[in-house]
Amino acid sequence: MKTPRAIVFPILFLLSQSCSKNNSPQKPIRTDSLNLSVTYADTSRNPPPNFELLVQEPGGKLLLDTLAPVNTPVVATLRTSDMLVNVTTVYMGKNDTAFTVRSWLGVDPSSWQTLPIDNAFVVLSPWPLFTTHQTHVENVPGFPPAVFNHNYVWFSDADMPVFLASNTQYTSDILLTGSFAGNNYLYSFIPSLGLYNFHVQNWANGTDTVDLSHMDTMRQVNFPRPSQYGECYCVLNGIMDTTDHSKSIMLYFSPFTPTTADMEYPVKYVQKFQVHATFSAPDSTQVTYYSYGSAISSNFLFPDPSRYAITPYQNDNFSIKFNNLSPTFYETQWKAGKVNLYIYSSPDSGVHHPQALLASLNAQKLKGQVVAPPEPVQMSFETIAEMNYAQFFGYLSSPSLITNRRVTSAVRLLKKFQN
């Protein structure tokens, strides 16, 4: 089962008082214990009965190793004076063929309600769902018939944005069949002309007519990037009503709407825009930009290769340094026999030691399993607006924060070492 990534709440600065004659700051320490109450949330239909939770001091001393049921709080008081600990979960889903081991290094889980949730800051799924409905488009005087070679109708149904492209060429008719919930916007978009129309649907007789005699002009956006990164794989969702996401619409999906710009978008009626823009380079590196807000900006810091350096690595030594870049976190993924290992840490921690980490865990669920020397699968780092490493995981482990606060932007670089 796939798990966490994420983000977090306002930065808390720890102000230490001087207790020495030279006024050197005192290292913050915990008095004597760490109180833990955290849940492994599994929303699948048939989750396994339990998972393994391990907590260690930074030096490797084991504070907790327990098998616990999913969707039930694990409550414990751990004796330690360290402010930061390492938290690890070991899990195998019903249909998995390998164990997933996730380790968050140097964290304070005392305020965590759940274990961090992957991509919880995303309001809507970035991927389109397909469905079919019926409508008829007419009244398009002055449009040459050929513009309808790429005629698209976009609409929303249930709680996800969906779209369907017309297969009809050289005509203004778009024939789709199916059922519809009704009372949502229907969004018509002609990419070759950069024009769009929003239509409030009326399916009283099982059909509807869209008047395209008056259309509005799309805006264009291009994302500056180094020359080795190719075309943008861009997905744009429009949140028409922030109190009702079922009325959201997919506004742009680049594989099906080629234009001269990276992305085109409407400006009327949309309350919030959600952008996913992914760029790929020939060396198996990808950069993804996410944003959520009332406007779309192309101004983000692109993490090109000059901003990071990976030193030669072995199966127990992975090191990365950043240059004029301050990511929120970085992650490495490893394959070790029947174990998929994910390690998350602060970017200034520098080095990951996957083999030593697995050995120090001595996890109950991995006893008797094939744990080969770890091989790197991929590396990634992510910068989330106004969030540091501690906030990142505090946000993802708090359902109330996720519900009440949205991340405005995030940039992720991912480099694959093997498929």
Q: 211 and 321: one domain? A: no
pLDDT (0 to 100) of residue 369: 85
Does a structural domain hold residue 287? yes
Q: Residues 150-191: pLDDT tens digits?
A: 445 554 443 333 444 444 333 444 444 444 454 567 777 777
Cα 347 to Cα 3, 4, 138, 308: the distances in Å are 20, 17, 56, 11
Structure tokens at 72: 């039930």
The whole-angstrom separation of Cα 41 and Cα 126 is: 22
Q: 186 and 258: one domain? A: yes
Q: 67 and 164: one domain? A: no
Q: 143 and 273: one domain? A: yes
Q: 260 and 158: one domain? A: yes
What is the residue range of 231's domain? 136-293
Q: 146 and 274: one domain? A: yes
DSSP per residue, 161-194: EEEEE----SSS-----S----SSEEEEEETTTT
- Overall number of domains in the chain: 2
Does a structural domain hold residue 185? yes
| Residues whose CB is less than 8 angstroms from the CB of residue 22 and which lie 6 or more positions away in sequence, other chains included | none
pLDDT (0 to 100) of residue 238: 87
Report the 3 state secondary structure along 52-100.
EEEEECCCCCEEEEEEEECCCCEEEEEECCCCCEEEEEEECCCCCCCEE
pLDDT (0 to 100) of residue 63: 97
Does a structural domain hold residue 52? yes
Q: 271 and 323: one domain? A: no
- Cβ 36 vs Cβ 109: under 8 Å: yes
Does a structural domain hold residue 27? no
Q: 213 and 334: one domain? A: no
Does a structural domain hold residue 211? yes
Q: 146 and 284: one domain? A: yes
Amino acid, single-letter form, for residue 343: I
pLDDT (0 to 100) of residue 140: 55
- Cβ 35 vs Cβ 26: under 8 Å: no
Q: 289 and 174: one domain? A: yes
Q: 146 and 263: one domain? A: yes
Residues pairing with 53 in the sheet = 66, 89
Q: 38 and 101: one domain? A: yes
pLDDT (0 to 100) of residue 165: 45
Q: pLDDT of the chain along its 419 residues, tens only?
A: 433 333 332 222 222 233 333 444 444 566 689 999 999 998 887 888 899 999 999 999 999 999 999 999 999 999 999 999 999 999 998 888 999 999 999 999 999 999 997 766 677 776 554 444 445 555 555 554 444 444 455 544 433 334 444 443 334 444 444 444 545 677 777 777 788 888 777 666 666 677 777 789 999 999 999 999 999 999 998 888 888 877 777 888 887 666 789 999 999 999 999 999 999 999 999 999 999 999 999 989 899 888 999 987 777 889 999 998 999 999 999 999 999 999 999 998 868 999 999 999 999 999 988 788 999 999 999 999 989 999 989 999 998 888 888 899 999 999 999 76
Does a structural domain hold residue 150? yes
Does a structural domain hold residue 6? no
DSSP per residue, 146-168: GGGGG-EEEEEETTEEEEEE---
> Phi/psi at 153 (nearest 5 deg)?
-120, 125
CB-based burial, 213-228: b 16+ in 10 Å, e otherwise:
eebeebeebebebeee
Does a structural domain hold residue 305? no
